[in-house]
Structure 1
Amino acid sequence: MDTSASPLSQEDFEEIARAAARTNESVRLEFLDGKIREKAVPDGYHGRIIEWLTKVCLQARPELWLYGDQGLHVEAYRRGNARPDGCLARSGAFEGAGEWASTEDVEMVVEVTSRDRDTNQRDRVDKSAAYAAAAIPVYLLVDRGNQSVKVHSEPEGGRYAKVNEVAFGKSVSLPEPVGFELDTAPLLGWVG
């Protein structure tokens, strides 16, 4: 659905997303770049990668939690709504926030690419711009298609000033405020 001809309000999108979820529990909608997009339903490898990242984050930073599927308001980017695969924030950060929360306490967002036709535009382009515009310090993209991990950091002017890409199997530094090394070797077994 292209909403560029008639701008969709935040409230209208949220009502559409609620109605879609009531009709079909597997439908998850996002509102990026002025367009409603359906987020792909994750496969088993996708879920395994998020499980692994949750454990790694908890071991490295026990005061934080990797929240799965917490919706975020990314208003700075055309009043959008994103549903990252993971949001790293302090434990309890989203209590009482509802389906769509502020990005204020988010230290890192995580996306794992899916096997759908929109993944290039959505995960590699639109979400990078949305998360940078919302000033989320780190965006971690686990790119199964390219078998690489991209760490985006230093958001400024609607984009990330630094992007560090490594092939699966190598270690990569997650910069502050996350602040730990990520060994990506386990990802070699979950390319799927």
Structure 2
Amino acid sequence: MNKHILILYYSRHGATKAMANRIAQGVESKGMQAKLRTVPEISNGIDFSQASVPDEGDLFVQKDDLKTCAGLALGSPTRFGNMASALKYFLDSTSSQWLSGALVDKPASVFTSTGSMHGGQESTLLSMMLPLLHHGMVIAGLPYTHPELHSTTTGGSPYGATHYAHGEKGNKLSDDERALCFAQGQRLAAIAQKLASQ
């Protein structure tokens, strides 16, 4: 069994990265390794504007990371109700992984951050699920058994963890957001373990 969950994200100002780190903690609390990866920024919608290896932070994702993972958490800030172009650009390049079935029957979850309360969080999460469904992945949301989905006044959704980065709060996750990110990581790892034992 592959022992790691790939947490693939794009983060411009750090909020989505903070969510990815908290999801990783949830994954590792279930005894699995969390492999954090990001994608480079793009310019002109075509050319990568960064070097092939980042100067700091998490490494850029490689296509083999999709093949070797036991599950995937996909995260992006919201851009007009959709995922950021840098992440979409990478996903659009995964045709060979789609043809080979590299992600078939692996669990996946999604997460996002917005700068406004009604900034398109749920439409972003739904749009991020679409390529994962095409890859044959098993989508795992957050059930309402998590009390934070009932109490949150910031981010949180049954479709996946969300963050509302407003005002001075910025990249700091609320207690409810932290709990939901952690729970999402735990659930993804637990489902990966169950599917691998079939």
Report the TM range for the smaller structure's normalisation.
0.3 to 0.5
Q: Which structure: greater strand fraction?
A: 1
TM-score, normalised on structure 2? 0.38
Q: Which has the higher contact order (CA 8 A, sep 6+)?
A: 2
TM-score, normalised on structure 1? 0.39
